[in-house]
Structure 1
């Protein structure tokens, strides 16, 4: 394990399966607590963002500091790790300033750490930088970040994967061949690989990510109860079952499930979630001797994604909200951030490590996200056909409907705008569901187009009394409609709202 300021010797985990009765309860709570999520993010930035220092390259580099008092730049992997928390905050509140903050931090990261990260012997360090970069690409559209992620993912995989212990990625290249292959170095590579695949459809990276997962599942994951081992060493599986690694496998398994639809991945993710929540039925508390004062964000992010992407929000949201409230109620009020132990009040004075405070930002962000946020298949209530981009990346291609098959052409990313409208972006192409030319004409077939923020790419989404959704375009005011046809290839059109089943949609 690493010992950067003892930061890899703490942690936290989770929970209680409570059930809500109505799907609309969670959005109401979002409205009550969105201000808290904003306050935690703004406080974190105020406490830890440094913009006035000059890097060794004589270039002003914004970065996140080690602590409130220690204004040195957080180390390579820590910097990348915390940028992912900033990215979570952006995905809850798509403010232009937050998007710019992500660009500033990633640009500064590249300036400071160069473009080839092979100088760092720790493969999990590289994985976290890849995750920060590829998420930054998705959020900003800057292809430099995607290229950085792809190049360095391949570099670390090529040096880190071998047949020792039957496969898997070494944690440290300076400990080969006597070191370990652990969750820290394997699960994050799966997560990064899935992000990359969704961005560029590189089937080779997806195949390697599945192989990494398969090794981890067979060596360091208990498929009977959802617990994990820290890693695999010359003596075999070892190390404690800690929340950081539990959260990582939830994220990894769910990411593969959303891409492949393979039930095993869903079952693994759910098993790990239930293990965490039985271990921590109320509040995710410090899990010593494990990973110390950071890492709870992996559990919160993983459970939130799993719940939102699989229509299980009502099952898991109460536990997330319980932790979110505990973090807020025990916060340090000058910055509205908390240390990692939410059962205890955070001291109101003195120093506080940025890595320890990050989880309080993430838990606020992922708990207050609208449950619609994330990846969904959209099927028509009348016919069961799914909205499909035709498996094309051509800009302007017409959008159709097709029998539900679990493919990426039928997966759409829902992200919310500051005006509460929604962007609906194809996982396959990365292009937005679009009303061509902002047409107000009944019967116009929808297309896909590069994301541009136009009102013809924004959609209102409103749940109906039967649990289905009305989806209508901001520019035209017309509702998505299945054109009263049930054949594969049926056009997806817009039409004046009538409330009939051909205009009602199920999000899966």
Structure 2
């Protein structure tokens, strides 16, 4: 159990979570709930029976309200709305808009997809790929090429395809190394990075699927082979950030590089049915799950820089592997990240944060930081309830670590709690459905110190007396 240990009960969308208490005197409800989320703070929070769709809608509409500029049809860099987001991240936000449309199929959302294209057209010189003031890094171009091709697949708009093909040709002509293979990320050819190589594969495969021009397929296969050899560890699945000259690959392992590697491998698998590609995609996913996470939670990434958007990219391709590729073994892991991040949102604005394991700041944050969980929510399967009915206890504070199964209303001794995965003297946080009351006891059989809780409580150590790692029995009403 983590040092942050605080017992929390969590329930959202018909999901309840119990809290833990410390062994001693009885504690009044007013005192016990000093750290709990008040009903007033939950004005915008969904009823506990909310569906995945309702949560996804709320997350996206809240992100839009905080970060979208309806005058330019592009996104701000921060919730202060005082500057435009970086050029490449606008393409990622466009992908998010397409994810929302694919989930909802709402005409208004399709109009938003088309509006963002026009916003980019107006802001970026009509997608004039030869404007080296607007476009000065090859990977910036390729993120847009990928999104443009996807938008054509979604809408059938020929203009999107024309822009995607022209952009791809421009990047290929300037970035591809015909001697040693691979793609350079910048105009100076300083290095060959994952952020251009794997996206090039995805862009080429989308254009191949649209046009059936085998030249795109050949390019995709060539770049993937080079990138797998030079930018990944074939045994562990680690995706390196870059390769500089003849040096071995290096740089930090980031989620977005793993995500595009997954997307590239899966795109080739779909076309060829070659199981090696699917095995590659799973190996990249396994590396992130087993090596980049802390207690199963994805890395924060993005200490006030554009890296906050990285997990939004990872979400798109990871969930494609799950949803299209049938790799359901990752669902519990992804679900744990989504529920933890959503429970830790800023509940006044319903904004989520790049670090899912801590409470979202209530002040201004970057749009990059607020984007990734929104994307995950658009893509998570509708038939796998994120917050089923019942109270859920967590081993760590802030709804982190191992969680119990949802526990319905009733009185539970330790033996009865253990059937739901509860561990004695273990709980550190909990979330409680609206209208439910949870009474925690420090001893078995409803004895010892008692705490009464009526709302989500993310930090049991803050209860008075501390309820961290002490709960042994519970009543849920």
Matches for 1:469-484 after TM superposition, within 5 Å: none
Q: 1:246 — aligned with what? A: 258
Matches for 1:42-61 after TM superposition, within 5 Å: 42-52=61-71, 61=72
Q: Between Structure 1 and Structure 2, how many residues are aligned?
A: 329
Residue 172 of structure 1 pairs with residue 186 of structure 2: yes
Partners of 1:230 and 1:245 within 8 A in 2:
yes
**What do the CA deviations read for 1:55-100 (whole angstroms, capped 9, x no partner)?**
xxxxxx3211111113332232121121111111221111111110
Q: 1:337 — aligned with what? A: 351
TM-superposed CA distance for 1:287, in Å, is: 4.9
Q: 1:366 — aligned with what? A: 379
Q: 2:144 — aligned with what? A: 129
Q: 1:353 — aligned with what? A: 366
TM-superposed CA distance for 1:335, in Å, is: 3.2
> Which one of the candidate residues 325, 344, 350 is aligned to 1:310?
325
**What do the CA deviations read for 1:343-402 (whole angstroms, capped 9, x no partner)?**
000012x2111111110210111114569xxxxxxxxxxxxxxxxxxxxxxxxxxxxxxx
Distance across 2 between alignment mates of 1:347 and 1:230: 29
Distance across 1 between alignment mates of 2:382 and 2:213: 29
Distance across 1 between alignment mates of 2:243 and 2:91: 25
Residue 296 of structure 1 pairs with residue 311 of structure 2: yes
SS of residue matched to 1:254: helix
Matches for 1:358-507 after TM superposition, within 5 Å: 358-369=371-382
Residue 320 of structure 1 pairs with residue 334 of structure 2: yes
Partners of 1:186 and 1:213 within 8 A in 2:
yes
Distance across 2 between alignment mates of 1:358 and 1:30: 24
Distance across 1 between alignment mates of 2:261 and 2:335: 22
* Larger-gyration structure (1/2): 2
**What do the CA deviations read for 1:6-36 (whole angstroms, capped 9, x no partner)?**
xxxxxxxxxxxxxxxxxxxxxxx99732211
Q: 2:297 — aligned with what? A: 283
Distance across 2 between alignment mates of 1:271 and 1:142: 36
Q: 1:148 — aligned with what? A: 163
Structure having the larger proportion of residues in strand: 1
Distance 1:82 1:331, change over 3 A: same
TM-superposed CA distance for 1:274, in Å, is: 1.2
Distance across 1 between alignment mates of 2:271 and 2:79: 40
Flag structure 1 segments of 5+ consecutive residues without an equivalent: 1-28, 53-60, 372-508
Instruction: For CA contacts below 8 A with separation 6 or more, give which structure has more relative contact order.
Output: 2
Partners of 2:301 and 2:310 within 8 A in 1:
no
Flag structure 2 segments of 5+ consecutive residues without an equivalent: 1-47, 385-477
Distance across 1 between alignment mates of 2:105 and 2:341: 23
TM value normalised by structure 2 = 0.66
Distance across 2 between alignment mates of 1:273 and 1:170: 25
Q: 1:23 — aligned with what? A: none
**What do the CA deviations read for 1:40-62 (whole angstroms, capped 9, x no partner)?**
1111111111123xxxxxxxx32
